[in-house]
DNA sequence: GACTAATCTTACTTTCCAGTAAGTCTACTT
DNA sequence: AAGTAGACTTACTGGAAAGTAAGATTAGTC
């Protein structure tokens, strides 16, 4: 299908050059057609970019969701979701570059698209964190605010660790996810258990 | 000094609009002068952007470094550094937006500038993590690879938590830093102590 | 009060590229 | 073989904004 081919080409070019440096003519070349065809199928450059972001973000969200959607314990589900995320990034780096580096700057429509995807994942993560806490049986020392905090930190750490992963290509996605789980989950659980660090009084 | 005023104006406009949507004429207006003056002092639009990034990143790195540069225990230093980071973000949001949202997409020169600043902080954080481990007395179960991992996750979490902070403006920077310390530091320490999570065997 | 040096502006040129009008080519129909 | 519909291209237009040439304004000097 033509549209798909065009989006494929656009994804590569956008990921490599960024939105503004990417020229529609070059995208058309990559797709093996001429510029007006791009406009016939996708309407405008911005719309084309949105199509790329949408496709990539949906693929990512779906990958995470399906991996995390078993009936098992929350921490296991979270680990699977994170593994799927790291696997996605390792496999389809263009998509990740697009979502992570290129898209944030752009216009309303694009930011909205991206925000929605991120929020969607964040909700899912927050949910797993919440269940993890409830299940632990500790008397809910963490409220909603804290759950959001943990989710935000976790997602941010995962984002950033994609760079680390790039420098350690021998490390399998599941192992990266495991490292992260150990860092975050244990800490969270133990804080719930009453263990806390605080600065000395002056 | 003229140059400083121009950079001030540019920072505001770039942070609000992004590099491409920002028009040099508008920056000149904000600085109360006309466009050719901007070119006289800064040479080109890109150079102007680089000047902004450089100034903001230096301010941020300095804030972190000075806060973390006491002779105290590593964890206390780390906490102070993080507090300074969150305080900086809360206070000078334009700079943070610039560094966090606008700059990543741009050209070589800019990415290099930014990368250097990030790396510089990352090294410092990694160093504190390493000392924290050594001091804990545990027999170095974490190697350099692990230290880098923790540092990367920590910095990424902090980046991302600036968004959380924006939604919880009543939370003081030190409290945000404290939350993060509790999440990461305790987890890391306990993992060192041998506590580990791993997925069940199938 | 003419001279000149520094500072600044108006108004222009240039380049680049998104978007499009008009026409060509191919393949299929009758 | 003439007609026509769909897919596609060449070659253009329009506009936006980076960068600049040339001149105006101000202030300080003799």
Residues B4 and B79 grouped into a single domain:
no
In the numeric block, which tokens belong to residue B169?
Answer: 């403006």
d(CA B128, CA B76): 10
In the numeric block, which tokens belong to residue A19?
Answer: 């939105």
Residues B79 and B150 grouped into a single domain:
yes
In the numeric block, which tokens belong to residue B162?
Answer: 């600036």
Residue A141 has pLDDT above 70, yes or no: no
A69 falls within a domain: yes
Residues B121 and B154 grouped into a single domain:
yes
B199 falls within a domain: no
B198 falls within a domain: no
pLDDT for the residue B111: 84
> Is B76's CB within 8 Å of A199's CB?
yes
Q: Which of B85, B93, B95, B92 is nearest to B65 (CA)?
A: B85
Residues B188 and B148 grouped into a single domain:
yes
Expressed as residue numbers, the domain containing A154 is 52-192
For residue B36, the domain's CATH number is: 1.10.10.60
Instruction: Provide DSSP, B78-107.
Output: HHHHHHHHHHHHHH-HHHHHIIIIIGGGS-
Residue partners of A195: CB distance under 8 A and separation at least 6: B186
| H or E element at residue B191 | helix B173-192
pLDDT for the residue B140: 56
d(CA B18, CA B101): 8
CA-nearest residue to B18 within chain A is: A105
Torsion of CA A88, A89, A91, A95, to 10 degrees: 100
A26 falls within a domain: no
pLDDT for the residue A138: 56
Question: Protein A85 CA to nucleic acid C21 C1', in Å?
Answer: 47
Q: Which of A138, A118, A135 is nearest to A190 (CA)?
A: A138
B202 falls within a domain: no
B191 vs A: CB within 8 A: yes
Residue partners of A19: CB distance under 8 A and separation at least 6: A49, A102, A105, A106, B105
CA-nearest residue to A183 within chain B is: B187
* CB-CB contact of A20 with B20 (8 Å): yes
B20 falls within a domain: yes
A108 vs B: CB within 8 A: no
Residues B26 and B57 grouped into a single domain:
no
Q: Return the higher-pLDDT residue of A55 and A108.
A: A55
d(CA B88, CA B165): 12
d(CA B174, CA B188): 20
User: Residue A72, SS3?
Assistant: coil
Residue A139 has pLDDT above 60, yes or no: no
Q: Which residue matches tokens 């250097």?
A: B116
d(CA A123, CA A17): 32
In the numeric block, which tokens belong to residue A106?
Answer: 């752009």
pLDDT for the residue A184: 86
Q: At what angle do helices A24-31 and A45-68 cross, to 10 degrees?
A: 60
* CB-CB contact of A46 with A107 (8 Å): yes
A90 falls within a domain: yes
Question: Protein B119 CA to nucleic acid C6 C1', in Å?
Answer: 43
B180 vs A: CB within 8 A: yes
Q: Judge whether residue A138 contacts strand C, using its CB and a 7 Å cut-off.
A: no
Which of A101, A153, A199 is opposite residue B161, by nearest beta carbon?
A: A153
Which residue of A157, A184, A201 is the best one to mutate when testing the B interface, meaning the one whose CB has the most B CBs within 10 A? A157
pLDDT for the residue A12: 95
Q: Judge whether residue A46 contacts strand C, using its CB and a 7 Å cut-off.
A: yes
pLDDT band at A37 (very low <50, low <70, confident <90, very high): very high
B201 falls within a domain: no
In the numeric block, which tokens belong to residue B82?
Answer: 């993080």
Q: Which of B192, B178, B182 is nearest to B81 (CA)?
A: B178
d(CA A181, CA A150): 12
Overall average pLDDT of the A37-46 stretch: 93
- pLDDT digits (tens), chain B, 202 positions: 788 999 999 999 999 998 999 999 999 999 999 999 999 999 999 999 999 999 999 999 999 999 999 878 888 999 999 999 999 999 999 999 999 988 766 677 788 888 899 999 999 999 999 888 777 655 555 677 888 999 999 999 999 999 999 999 999 999 999 999 888 887 777 777 777 777 777 6
Domain count for chain A, please give it.
1
For residue A176, the domain's CATH number is: 1.10.357.10
- Which positions 147-166 of B are in contact with A (Cβ < 8 Å)? 148-150, 152-161, 163-164
pLDDT band at A59 (very low <50, low <70, confident <90, very high): very high
Q: Which of B102, B124, B125, B126 is nearest to B114 (CA)?
A: B102
Residues B16 and B88 grouped into a single domain:
no
d(CA A59, CA A86): 13
Residues B126 and B156 grouped into a single domain:
yes
């Amino acid at each position: 299908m033509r549209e798909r081919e065009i989006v494929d080409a656009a994804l590569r070019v956008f990921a490599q050059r960024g939105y503004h440096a990417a020229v529609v003519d070059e995208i058309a070349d990559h797709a093996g057609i001429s510029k007006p065809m791009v406009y016939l199928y996708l309407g405008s450059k911005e719309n084309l970019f949105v199509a790329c972001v949408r496709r990539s973000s949906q693929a990512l969200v779906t990958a995470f969701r399906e991996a995390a959607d078993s009936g098992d314990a929350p921490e296991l589900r979270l680990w699977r979701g994170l593994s799927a995320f790291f696997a996605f990034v390792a496999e389809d780096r263009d998509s990740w570059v697009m979502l992570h580096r290129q898209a944030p700057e752009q216009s309303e429509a694009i930011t909205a698209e991206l925000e929605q995807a991120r929020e969607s994942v964040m909700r899912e993560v927050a949910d797993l964190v919440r269940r993890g806490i409830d299940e632990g049986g500790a008397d809910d020392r963490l409220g909603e605010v804290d759950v959001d905090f943990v989710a935000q930190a976790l997602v941010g750490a995962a984002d950033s660790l994609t760079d680390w992963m790039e420098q350690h290509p021998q490390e399998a996605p599941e192992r990266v996810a495991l490292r992260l789980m150990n860092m975050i989950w244990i800490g969270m659980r133990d804080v719930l258990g009453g263990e806390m660090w605080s600065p000395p009084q002056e």
